[in-house]
Structures are given as C-alpha cells and as structure tokens.
Amino acid sequence: MTATTPRDSNSPARHLLAAYEEAIASHLDEDGDVREGHYPAFDEITTDYGRDALDLLRAWSGASEALMTAVNAAADLVHDGLGLGDRDMDVLNLVVNATATLIDNPDATLDDVITEQYSTDPEELRGWWGDWS
C-alpha cells in the first residue's frame, strides 16, 4: 500500500498559497482586472513576492513528495529484505501513513492519522493488532 501525500488544509504550503491568492484578489475588481491605482502593489505581489511564494510552494510540494517516495521505498525494502508477512506490512504502512499525515499536520495524533488515512474508527484499526504479541 502506497500512501499519498495528503492535501490537508493545515499544510504550511496551503496557508502560503491561500495568503498569496488573497493578496492578489485584494487588488482585483469583480471582473478580475487590476483596480485603478493598484498596479504598483499588484506588480510587487505578482513579481517579487509571488515568485518567492510560488517557488516556496513548489519546493515544499516537491520535498514532501520526495520524502514520501523515500519512506514508501524504505517500508518496501524492510518488508522484502526481512521476508515479513502481511501483518508486519500493515505496521510499516501505518508508519508510512503517519509520516504522510505529519508532513501536513505536525500536531496530528495517531487517531487523526487513522481517521484521515484509513477512513475507519481508530479502535477498529487498533483491533488489527489486539491479539498480536
């Protein structure tokens, strides 16, 4: 199972993009044209700040995707290298999915990870390992 990077609304990249879009929108009229007298500020946002914001957003996105690719590969490497079974792979996938969630939401709990990544009740998922020792 390969986890995907979540597109959480708490992501720093999402907040940056929202702030950038809000800054641009504040200089546009209802038709999407730059308001009279707003050109200098609009130009500054869309050139200097905008370029920096978009570069940071691209870097964040690329870095998180590269990280998740590496984490997934590591889980597969450990699983295959040790000849682990399905149950062990479930634990490794839980770690992969926790990593994906924590990238966008560093304050997430295990229950948050389970709810977001598995769309199931956390107690049900915990039951997968209830009799495992």
- Give the global pTM: 0.57
Q: Cα(88)–Cα(132) distance, rounded to whole angstroms?
A: 11
* Percent of the chain with pLDDT strictly greater than 70: 65
Helices (H), the chain: 12-25, 39-44, 50-82, 86-104, 110-118, 122-126
In a domain, residue 108? The reply is yes
In a domain, residue 33? The reply is yes
Q: Contact at 8 Å (CB) between 5 and 100?
A: yes
Who wins on pLDDT, 88 or 63? 88
Q: For 92-101, write each residue's pLDDT tens digit.
A: 999 999 998 8
Query: Domain check: are 94 and 59 in the same one?
Result: no
Q: What average pLDDT is seen over the chain? A: 77
In a domain, residue 75? The reply is no
> How much is the pLDDT for 6?
41
Query: Domain check: are 18 and 54 in the same one?
Result: yes
Query: Domain check: are 53 and 95 in the same one?
Result: no
Q: Contact at 8 Å (CB) between 3 and 97?
A: yes
**Whether pLDDT at 10 is above 60:** no
Q: What tokens appear for 10 in the block?
A: 């708490």
Residue 41: pLDDT band with limits 50, 70, 90:
low
Number of domains in the chain: 2
Query: Domain check: are 91 and 54 in the same one?
Result: no
How confident is the model over 116-129, as a mean pLDDT?
A: 87
> How much is the pLDDT for 82?
93
Q: Cα(95)–Cα(89) distance, rounded to whole angstroms?
A: 10
Residue entry with tokens 């304050």? 107
**Whether pLDDT at 133 is above 60:** no
Query: Domain check: are 127 and 93 in the same one?
Result: yes
- Fill in the DSSP letter of residue 126: H
In a domain, residue 53? The reply is yes
Q: Cα(68)–Cα(80) distance, rounded to whole angstroms?
A: 18
> How much is the pLDDT for 48?
61
Query: Domain check: are 15 and 56 in the same one?
Result: yes
Exposure on the CB side of residue 57, measured as CA atoms within 13 A: 16
Maximum distance among all Cα pairs of the chain, rounded to whole angstroms: 70
Q: Which residue range forms the structural domain that includes residue 131?
A: 84-133
